[in-house]
Amino acid sequence: MDSDTIQDLTKKQSEPFQNELDAVVVTIQKIKAAVKIEDSNKRMTEMIEAIKKLRTRQRELWGLISRIEEEAFKKALAQEYGVVGNPKLDEVYSIAYQQGHADGFSGIENSFMDLVELIK
């Protein structure tokens, strides 16, 4: 299961956040360009503060999208490996995440494959 598959699974749910994220990125770029030509120190300071607030929102949106994708991935793993509703699923997923998250979803899945047999 790759990132594209997870994004396809979560598109409907994460699309409003992704649209807002795209708008935030564009706004940041516009303000950054305007800061370069702004001659009023007061206005420049206001623009920089606006960028800081937008970057905070950008991180919040990234977090929301990541959580949506991770939940969908976890659910898909549980279905694929036949452990939906297993009380140990969260523990196994947590261990798999710790072991494999540096390699993305495929790393987590590889670790999960090794561990899931312990709870079947």
* For range 57-78, the mean pLDDT: 96
CB 2 within 8 A of CB 103: no
pLDDT tens for each residue of 14-67: 999 999 999 999 999 999 999 989 889 999 999 999 999 999 999 999 999 999
Q: What angle do CA 88, 92, 95 make, to 5 degrees?
A: 145
Nearest one of 25, 96, 113, 87 to 62, comparing CA atoms: 25
Cα separation, 48 vs 11, whole angstroms: 32
Tokens matching residue 39: 């001659």
Q: Is pLDDT above 80 for 2?
A: no
